[in-house]
Homo-oligomer: A and B are copies of this chain.
């Protein structure tokens, strides 16, 4: 008897029919003898509808009230899914974030989970009931409603799985797994059968929307085995587990230098021009950005000339407004010449655990982009990822060129 956390995304519960399908799927897992906890997102377009309602009232909605508003989406889902489960004869109890006690830091619209109380969920499981938990939402120590940011339900699911010591966390979505590239851009992209946490983490943070970055982080930290799969097909999806060494040999993907190409089309690039080249400057800039809860991604500093240097960094479009404000403030304080902000850029990345021991990976990437006459604006590398910033209208062409350059269409 396994303990399984199943997370169903918004497109999986968009209609009453889909809701019933999800209920049948969860009920079948329970009836096969497993203990099941379900995490669910807001139905279909509900979050967007709620945002529209807020915009009709004000163009500057306070973050606290946005969280109060958006949290209702998941509450609708948990109530309806519990009803659907009980209509199948399967005892179920809906639980809002504050009822489970998904404790978060006191930050609105993108809080981090600090702790999950497994007591209430275990109570329900021990009484033979399926806890149906609202994803995306939490509560602060002082009882304020918070949300975890877009895709936050993934993180909820992984955090619950970690708290419960679950055997598996299944992420149900509208694709059949994690692919070598987005199949809408690269038609011959292949499904990946196994990935390490690090690979998934680099893919998520570089634009693979199938899993929230923070969920991948959490899964790695607490060693929660993940299974990304389709709500509407039975086939096995992508299993994400520990380091390659811990995955049984026979189920291993053949080691490739590069496993996948990812992209992120909503990147904003900021450059602080002519920053005095004295110690502590970068610290002051990025400290201010951290305090404003801006997620900074790539950072590049040019070599100093005439005791001045440029610092460029990227952030997501949703953080751009706050990031630009904070950066302009610091730039003034530090006596920089100006801040350039460019909102229409994209990031393309190649990811693979084999990369670290293989020279020439970067060279292949730059060559493929050069052959397509695509200009590279920024470069950033990690042990298992290389990312380039390119113009947003060249991004899809870049992804296809890179997928070809590393032969990702072929089963190795």
Contacts and interface: CB of A to CB of B under 8 A. Distances in A.
A373 interface: no
Nearest to A81: B57
A65 B71 CA distance: 16
A50 interface: yes
17 contacts: A16-B56, A16-B57, A19-B57, A54-B79, A54-B83, A57-B84, A57-B87, A58-B86, A58-B87, A60-B87, A61-B83, A64-B93, A66-B79, A68-B79, A72-B72, A72-B76, A99-B143
Contacts of A65: 79-80, 82-83, 86, 94
Interface in A1-55: 16, 19-20, 50, 53-54
Contact of A68 (B78, B87, B145): B78
A256 B53 CA distance: 48
Contacts of A86: 58, 60, 62, 65
A131 to B, nearest CB: 13
Interface string A170-212: 0000000000000000000000000000000000000000000
Interface residues of A, number: 36
- List 3 A-B pairs, minimum CB-CB distance, nearest first: A16-B56, A69-B79, A72-B72
A238 to B, nearest CB: 30
Contacts of A82: 62, 65, 68
Given A75-B68, A76-B72, A96-B145, A62 B83 contact: yes
A366 interface: no
B69 A53 contact: no
A98 interface: yes
Given A68-B78, A78-B68, A83 B99 contact: no
Contact of A20 (B57, B68, B69, B78): B57
Nearest to A80: B57
Given A20-B57, A65-B86, 16 more contacts: A16-B56, A50-B76, A54-B83, A57-B80, A57-B87, A58-B83, A60-B86, A65-B80, A65-B94, A68-B78, A69-B76, A69-B83, A71-B75, A72-B72, A72-B75, A72-B76
A19 to B, nearest CB: 6
A267 to B, nearest CB: 29
Contacts of A87: 57-58, 60
Contacts of A93: 64
A56 B87 CA distance: 12
A379 B369 CA distance: 90
Contacts of A64: 93-94
Contacts of A145: 96
Contacts of A78: 68
Contacts of A19: 57
Contacts of A96: 68, 145
Given A50-B76, A96-B145, A98-B98, A57 B83 contact: yes
Nearest to A120: B143
B68 A94 contact: yes
Given A19-B57, A53-B16, A80 B69 contact: yes
Contacts of A80: 53-54, 57, 65, 69
A65 B131 CA distance: 12
